[in-house]
Amino acid sequence: MTVKLLATGVVAVATIGAAPLDPPPPAPGQPPLPSPETLSDLATRLTDPGVSYETKFGLVENGISADEGHVADHDLRKAFRNGNFPEQFAFTNIQPIGPNGVSADVAITGPKFAGPVNKQLAFVDQGGTWVLQHAAALALVQAASAVN
């Protein structure tokens, strides 16, 4: 009897301990949550120092102004010459916010960073395509182009 009770308890603990850490499903009417890979691809494309801001317009909610774009291009090219790239973006903790958005934590790593640079970013679903919320895009470019 004791062995059976102990075995049942071990199975129950193992089952509870093995529960997945997936984010909660979106509320009815909300878009499906983006994958970490989708967000990483978006961050990589936005911070690509070899691509002009004009090409990145559709990656950011309400686009990128010419002034912001010229500054971002300059800063990203400077960071590239400094050896900051390639950079990697590891997204976790993707959570729904509002009717068509998510927030996510990102750890940015690269050859010139002493350790990961951590940020929380917001994304918006625009007609089935995830884009960076405007202020989040500016914060990402600033973090990615930091020169030590």
* Model confidence pLDDT, tens digit, residues 16-75: 444 445 556 666 767 789 999 999 999 999 999 999 999 999 999 999 999 999 999 999
Residue 26: the pLDDT is: 63
Q: What confidence category does residue 99 fall into, taking pLDDT thresholds of 50, 70 and 90?
A: confident
For the domain covering 34-144, report its CATH number.
3.10.450
Nearest to 10 by CA among 86, 48, 2, 59: 2
Reduced to 3 states, what is the DSSP secondary structure of residue 95?
strand
Residue 12 scores a pLDDT above 60 = no
Residue 119 scores a pLDDT above 90 = yes
Half-sphere CA count of 115, side-chain side, radius 13 A? 2
Q: Scanning the structure block, which residue is given the tokens 């309400």?
A: 62
**Cβ-based neighbours of 111, under 8 Å, separated by 6 or more:** 83, 84, 85, 86
Give 55: exposed, middle or buried? Use CB within 10 Å, 0-12, 13-18, 19+: exposed
